[in-house]
Amino acid sequence: ITVHSPRSTEELLGVVSNTVEEEILLRNEAALEATTSEKLPVGLVVLDSIAAPARRDFGTESAPQRVSAIFQVAQHLKRMADQLQLVVVVVNQVGLQNSEDAALREVVDTAAETGSDFVAVNAALGTSWHHCISTRLLLEHERDPHRLNSAMDNIQDSANDHHENRNINGKRGDDLQSRSIWEWERGHIRKATVVKSNVAGRSSMLFEVTNMGLCQMNSAMNPSR
């Protein structure tokens, strides 16, 4: 594993266009000449993140320069992925979506009234970066880990209490398990959604990060590695 820490967009462009590619070529050549499987060719490049240096170096009045820099970085990354046969993962940030769309406002207002954790967001860097990528994955918490005692929590608690009171034999195992799952979901369950792809349709999956790694969640909310 090799780590670089460019402090500006200019340094990032230099690392992407020269340093990283040269290192990959040398390591791949060494892997081909190796007699054991200890040395493997490079198959993954991670950039975390593209928005940080772009926002720091270019203000709101420097949009053309920012777009030009983003396009150059994207061009080098896509060429590298194609020619060197590797995967490039670029981490981007999101911000609150400020839309005048009436349908979106209705969804947000309804979510707020019911205590839902839904928040409308947009990817950083706008449409300029949107058109630079081939696949976009949105990673989010299924329920906001920083939000406690929402209306949805109260609704779930009331429903569980209602079922518990109706239990004639006093066996509340299923209800307690339901409440436990509801409380456990907050901050643990995450969702990955394919928002844009050239080869796949829109889809999503629930997952959890555990000491076993990334575990997909099935319909019963049990981890399956």
- pLDDT at res. 63: 80
When mean pLDDT is compared over 65-69, 109-113, 150-154, the highest value belongs to 65-69
For residue 159, is pLDDT > 80?
no
Lowest mean per-residue pLDDT among 9-13, 122-126, 139-143, 170-174:
170-174
| CATH number of 1-94, picked from 3.40.50.300, 1.25.40.10, 2.40.50.140, 3.40.30.10 | 3.40.50.300
For residue 30, is pLDDT > 80?
yes
Alpha-carbon distances, residue 106 vs 99, 101, 102, 110, 123 (angstroms): 11, 9, 6, 6, 21
pLDDT band at 52 (very low <50, low <70, confident <90, very high): confident
- pLDDT at res. 108: 60
- 173-185 and 151-166 helices, crossing angle to 10°: 170
- pLDDT at res. 223: 47
pTM: 0.70
Dihedral angle at the C-alpha atoms of 76, 82, 83, 88, nearest 10 degrees?
60
The per-residue DSSP string of 39-78 comes to S----EEEEE-SHHHHHHH--GGGHHHHHHHHHHHHHHHH
- pLDDT at res. 55: 81
pLDDT tens per residue across span 73-95: 999 999 999 999 999 999 988 77
- pLDDT at res. 53: 86
For residue 111, is pLDDT > 80?
no
Yes or no: say if 203 and 211 are a contact pair by the CB < 8 Å rule: no
When mean pLDDT is compared over 37-41, 113-117, 146-150, 172-176, the highest value belongs to 37-41
pLDDT band at 162 (very low <50, low <70, confident <90, very high): very low
- pLDDT at res. 178: 54
Structure-token pair, residue 123: 């990817």
Residue position matching structure tokens 């053309």: 64
For residue 105, is pLDDT > 70?
no
Structure-token pair, residue 197: 């792809």
> Which strands make up the sheet holding 190-197, listed edge to edge?
135-141, 190-197, 203-210, 213-217, 223-224
Residue position matching structure tokens 């320069």: 65
For residue 119, is pLDDT > 50?
yes
- pLDDT at res. 170: 46
Listed by start position, the domains of the chain span 1-94, 134-151+181-224
Question: What mean pLDDT is reported for the chain?
Answer: 76
